């Protein structure tokens, strides 16, 4: 399957596709018609004989057609660290992974605590015309955790939520003020839940593996302590709190109990936390040095249970490009973080292939649920909505090889992992922006 990338939207019809729309529960063979930038029609009544004669027809050959993925946790690196990633390289990696909308953290240089940086990112993304890019605004100026940023102004120019990115907001009074402030815009404060003093100087999950390797450990309690504190503050302020990349059983249980009490709390996790455990660190493998760290097997299983019962609201890639120099160091000195845009779908589909979640439930965590969390116009197959969608082969096996990835940085924790499920085509606003051609 080889396509040229479209420069402008046109009338395009998919036929003979397995239509999957988690928002409506649609799972049927049929077709989808795109006119310009929007979906004009979708359903089992669309066939090669019934689509308009002027439409370009693509025979999906029974493969899955679903909304493009919505990734709510991506580190861009541009502006400021273009040697790790650029908006262009991140956009190419995203489209290759089936991500049509992504929300970037504010930890760029300069920090996204100023309206001009929000506008810069939005302008650059529009010019590139690849995956749509939305931004978080910083909660505190310079991500320093002290003085609140101008969240109202940032919201007016497009910030969809607020976070201090990879830095936890450690000061409880600052978090209380932030929740109060964001409540007036009904926007989320997203927290990196890791108590700073407990995580400081840690390299990996505290436990037997860390002891055997002689590495300093980060106790899992660092996560739940922050989660429980912020749940109390959300209850106090009636603010909306969101916890990013949950990795421990205790934190999942805390959010589950809070939801039952009616606290406005949500959370996400990332593929490393349900597909890997601390043993992936192996023989000081720095690509497996992540933040939060990979946990014990019981935590990994608890995260899967949280995905299955709806406690965890979304799966995000937690894409964190690092340069080769930053990773090719002794484990204790290497940088935290792993890339994930191009493996997001394939690794998440393991939940389906292993019988842990139905297919529509897996896709729901990657499409309409993250879109709804941040109020994005994405994640659904319906008439009149933006034509952001992907065609993928549910069964095609492949092996992750870092040198084949489009991301400028190659620090994937899934290197050489066999996976099943390949994105064949990605469409953004009616334009084909990626096609798998091997």
Residues 114-168: tens digit of each pLDDT? 999 999 999 999 999 999 999 999 999 999 999 999 999 999 999 999 999 999 9
pTM of the model: 0.96
Note the pLDDT tens digit of each residue in 25-83.
999 999 999 999 999 999 999 999 999 999 999 999 999 999 999 999 999 999 999 99
Distance CA 171, CA 312 (A): 25
Judge whether residue 1 has pLDDT over 50. no
Q: Which of 342, 360, 403, 357 is nearest to 98 (CA)?
A: 342
Q: Is 283 a catalytic residue?
A: no
State how far the Cα of 244 lies from the Cα of 268, in Å rounded to an integer. 5
Owner of token pair 């209380």? 176
Task: Considering the candidates 21, 318, 372, 415, report the single residue annotated as catalytic.
Answer: 318
For 17, the enclosing helix (H) or strand (E) is strand 12-21
Does the pLDDT value for residue 9 go beyond 90? no
Predicted confidence (pLDDT) at residue 7 exceeds the cutoff of 90: no
Enumerate long-range contacts of 174-179, CB under 8 Å, 24 or more apart: 174/139, 174/140, 174/145, 174/146, 174/148, 175/229, 175/230, 175/233, 176/233, 176/236, 176/237, 177/148, 178/139, 178/140, 178/148, 178/151, 178/239, 179/233, 179/234, 179/237, 179/239, 179/240, 179/241
Per-residue DSSP letter, 68: P
Rounded distance between C-alpha atoms, residue 235 and residue 243, angstroms: 15
Q: pLDDT at position 37, please?
A: 95
> Is residue 67 classed as helix, strand or coil in its secondary structure?
strand
Quick one: pLDDT band at residue 169, thresholds 50, 70, 90? very high
Query: Could you tell me the CA-to-CA distances from 388 to 9, 36, 54 in Å, in that order?
Result: 11, 12, 21
Distance, in Å, from the CA atom of 313 to the CA atom of 331, rounded to the nearest integer, reads: 32
Q: pLDDT tens, 90-106?
A: 999 999 999 999 999 99
Residue 65 makes CB contacts below 8 A (sequence gap 6+) with 14, 17, 18, 19, 20, 32, 381, 389, 390, 391
Residue 438: pLDDT over 80: no
CA angle 241–246–249, rounded 5-degree value: 115
In the numeric block, which tokens belong to residue 401? 């090889």
Q: What is the pLDDT of residue 157?
A: 95
Find out whether 312 and 267 touch, Cβ atoms under 8 Å.
yes
Beta strand ranges found along 44-172 (DSSP E)? 56-59, 64-67, 69-74, 99-104, 132-138, 161-163
């Amino acid at each position: 399957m080889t396509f040229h990338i479209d420069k402008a939207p046109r009338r395009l019809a998919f036929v003979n596709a397995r239509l999957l729309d988690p928002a409506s529960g649609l799972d049927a063979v049929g077709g989808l018609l795109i006119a310009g930038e929007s979906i004009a029609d979708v359903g089992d009544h669309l066939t090669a004989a019934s689509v308009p004669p002027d439409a370009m027809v693509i025979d999906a050959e029974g493969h899955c057609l679903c909304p493009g993925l919505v990734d709510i946790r991506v580190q861009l690196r541009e502006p400021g660290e273009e040697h790790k990633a650029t908006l262009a390289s991140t956009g190419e990696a995203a489209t290759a992974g089936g991500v049509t909308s992504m929300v970037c953290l504010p930890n760029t240089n300069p920090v996204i605590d100023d309206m001009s940086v929000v506008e810069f990112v939005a302008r650059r993304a529009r010019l590139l015309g690849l995956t749509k890019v939305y931004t978080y605004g910083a909660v505190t100026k310079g991500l320093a955790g002290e003085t609140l940023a101008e969240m109202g102004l940032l919201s007016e120019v497009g910030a969809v939520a607020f976070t201090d990115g990879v830095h936890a907001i450690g000061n409880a009074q600052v978090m209380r003020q932030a929740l109060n402030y964001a409540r007036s815009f009904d926007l989320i404060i997203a927290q990196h839940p890791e108590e700073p003093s407990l995580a400081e100087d840690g390299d990996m999950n505290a436990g037997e593996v860390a002891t055997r390797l002689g590495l300093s450990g980060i106790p899992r309690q660092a996560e739940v302590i922050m989660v429980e504190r912020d749940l109390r503050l959300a209850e106090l302020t009636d603010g909306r709190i969101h916890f990013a990349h949950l990795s421990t059983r205790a934190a999942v249980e805390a959010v589950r109990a809070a939801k039952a009490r009616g606290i406005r709390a949500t959370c996400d996790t990332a593929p490393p936390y349900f597909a890997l455990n601390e043993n992936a660190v192996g023989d000081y493998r720095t690509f497996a040095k992540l933040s939060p760290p990979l946990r014990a097997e019981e935590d990994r299983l608890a995260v899967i249970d949280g995905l299955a019962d709806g406690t965890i609201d979304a799966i995000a890639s937690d894409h964190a490009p690092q340069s080769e120099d930053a990773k090719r160091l002794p484990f204790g000195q290497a940088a935290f973080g792993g890339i994930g845009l191009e493996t997001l779908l394939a690794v998440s589909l393991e939940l389906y292939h292993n019988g842990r979640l139905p297919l529509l439930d897996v896709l729901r965590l990657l499409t309409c649920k993250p879109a709804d969390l941040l109020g994005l116009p994405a994640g659904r197959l319906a008439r009149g909505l933006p034509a952001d969608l992907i065609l993928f082969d549910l069964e095609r096996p492949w092996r992750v090889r870092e040198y084949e990835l489009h991301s400028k940085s190659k620090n994937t924790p899934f290197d050489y992992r066999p996976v099943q499920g390949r994105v064949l085509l990605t469409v953004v606003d009616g334009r084909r922006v990626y096609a798998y051609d091997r």
